[in-house]
Amino acid sequence: MKVRVLGCSGAIAKDCRTTSFLIDSDLLVDAGTGVGDLTLKEMRAVDSVLLTHSHLDHVAALPLMVDSVAGQRGKPLDIYALAGTIAALKAHIFNDVIWPDFSRIPSAAQPFVRFHAVQTGQTLQFGAKQVEVLPAVHTVPAAGFAISAGKGCWVFSGDTERNPAFWQRVNRLKVAMLVIETAFSNREKELALRSLHLSPESLAHELDNIPSDQRYPIYITHTKPAETEMIMSEIQRFDQTQRFGPHVSHDIHWLHAGQEFEI
């Protein structure tokens, strides 16, 4: 299974694209501005989209991508998300005011997009890929995902603050790679708490949940462009002082657009 990072920034700037991951060629996880780096052929190959939540940095390119290739596809684009996320998309984006309602165009019987409501704990099958919907703690209904093709799971936290239920499940999975958000530096940890994002300090508490006998690469996503260097410096400082649990040093990296991983 190939994971291609299209975007992983918490905001936009030159060379900073918001959250989107392409799994193999047919499954998109979130649809932030990173989707704009796909060719038309690559967009047409995407059959399914998993959305973690409704915030703009995770869905901004979705209506534009549909508009670019829907007429060239032979079937609807299937969008999977929590019921609350779908309701927000219908009310605020695909509402015939901000953007056409592609769930009814060109007809209700043959639309350009189909919405599918999912629930935390549910598993979905996309060819050889299995997806489990994981819990997230955010200001709107939100989820994470664990995706596997039989050789370990690529786990994505989505946007979340401290999340015991996430770790209860993840610690029972065979994790090959964890992508976890850390949106703010410690100087803005109160803002992170109010907006239900992680800072390096709260990330440290989260990673304490990983059993000491488990070790896998951890990639930090969703950093604000102006604070990325500070955030990563604070994370590395915690790790070097073994703040992440007793005698545990994690394999932590900064995620950036353009990276590709084989899971």
Q: How far apart are CA 167 and CA 156, in angstroms?
A: 12
Q: How far apart are CA 210 and CA 22, in angstroms?
A: 26
pLDDT, average across residues 116-127 = 98
pLDDT at 162 over 70: yes
pLDDT at 112 over 90: yes
Tokens of 224: 């604000």
pLDDT at 191 over 80: yes
pLDDT, tens digit, 9 for 90 and up, residues 17-70: 999 999 999 999 999 999 999 999 999 999 999 999 999 999 999 999 999 999
Q: What pTM was estimated for this model as a whole?
A: 0.95
pLDDT at residue 247, rounded to an integer: 47
pLDDT, tens digit, 9 for 90 and up, residues 254-263: 999 999 999 9
Domains and CATH numbers, the chain: 2-254 (3.60.15.10)
pLDDT at residue 133, rounded to an integer: 98
